[in-house]
Amino acid sequence: MKPLQHPLQETTFSDWPLAVKTILGFWLFYALTIVIRAFLGRDPSTVLSNKVLTIAAAIVLSFCIYVALASFARGVSIRRRAIVAILASLGAAAAMAAVLMIADSYQSRPQEEIHLVSAEGYEITELGNATVIKRAGEQPLTVTWPRVAELDQFTQLRISADAAVVWLFFFMAWSAFYLAIRAQTQALTAQRRASEAESAAQVAQLRALRYQVNPHFLFNTLNSLSSLVMTGRNDRAEAMLLALSTFFRSSLSLDPAADITLEQEIDLQRLYLEIEKTRFPDRLKVEIDVPPALQSARLPALILQPIVENAIKYGVSKTRHKILISIVAEEIPDGRMMISVSNRLANSTRDELPASTHEGTGVGLTNVCERLQTRFGDRSECRFGPMDTGGFKVILKMPVQA
């Protein structure tokens, strides 16, 4: 089995595509400036042919700098990277100076004629490596410039040092460009991975919060089913079992971290309430009011489930009176929607439900509020408590998102 690699782990030359792009881009831009300068003269072909070796050597030496950076400056401080870049650039500049010194013996001089007259009246003509100096009435003097290899060692060393200094700045410029692009790429990658990790953590939290609901609901429903069977109400038990299978088939097919429309959420609650109506046929009344404009609004799947379940558990099952379960959705002026779920006596607004109808551990409502906060942040609101006329009410506010 192939070992797994940590997503943040980098191999020595893992960023070679970036190095290739920056090297070729940098030196192609330099080549473009050479081409422009060559065609400003009268012998561009000779100038360009002489520069081919120079550019090729510069590309190869830049790759050598990259190898040094990848080998000795991977995962270290920016100061050490800079030191490695400077040392590698010094070596590359010295190597380029040596290449230019050797190439001078084999390269042709541009055959363009330059003619000028000095302040003393001398006519000076330069053609290739020869300079002709003449004055009216005098014999012309021809001076042939020697190749670098024909000069004394001290002069060769000075010319080589001058060339190395010039090319040092070129190689350091590429190194700085490469390190800057690499740092930016790493920062963007780290930002993307942090965003993905945050998103994954949010999804995991949403899944965990929703999965807290399902076992509780299943236990209560099976307990109700058991009661129907034990009391001989088999027809109601069969109806409840059918409704239960339909509910679970619908709810478990949903992604726990996905949003669904308010219409789908209400349909799921209708299925659940049908289950409870089978258990409490004479003590449960349901009213649902959702305007058509909000039916396509999206919200976390089964966000209303624990609220409706609590309304049944601590309302209908705690009294012999008929209880009205009300689910109302409305749009409020700040671009959000408000969904309220309440339970109260169906036939009277004066009598209050017993205090026991409000009691519970609070796990279900805490779950709902946490899911809402995780999904919508500060744009969400979750409030609950007993009503003045009796019963209990939960109010959820969230952005309207289609």
Instruction: Identify whether the C-beta of residue 53 lies closer than 8 Å to the C-beta of residue 88.
Output: no
Q: What pLDDT, in 10s, does the model give residues 178-215?
A: 999 988 888 888 888 887 777 666 666 656 655 555 56
- pLDDT at position 203: 64
CATH architecture of 212-399: 2-Layer Sandwich (3.30)
Mean pLDDT (whole number) for 116-129: 74
Residue 122: pLDDT over 90: no
pTM of the model: 0.51
Gap between the Cα atoms of 45 and 122, Å rounded: 31
Domain residue ranges of the chain, discontinuous segments joined by +: 16-105+151-197, 109-146, 212-399
Gap between the Cα atoms of 395 and 381, Å rounded: 8
Q: What pLDDT, in 10s, does the model give residues 148-181?
A: 777 888 888 998 999 999 999 999 999 999 999 9
- pLDDT at position 322: 87
Of 102, 103, 131, residue with least CA distance to 118: 131
Burial code (b: 16+ CB inside 10 Å, e: under 16) for 85-120 equals beebbebbbbbbbebbbeeeeeeebbeeeeeeeeee
Q: What pLDDT, in 10s, does the model give residues 328-386?
A: 999 998 889 999 999 988 875 545 555 444 454 466 788 788 888 888 888 999 999 88
Instruction: Identify whether the C-beta of residue 274 lies closer than 8 Å to the C-beta of residue 311.
Output: no
Residue 77, both tokens: 């401080």
Q: What 3-state class would DSSP assign to 208?
A: helix
Residue 69: pLDDT over 50: yes
Strand partners, 329: 339
Gap between the Cα atoms of 265 and 115, Å rounded: 90
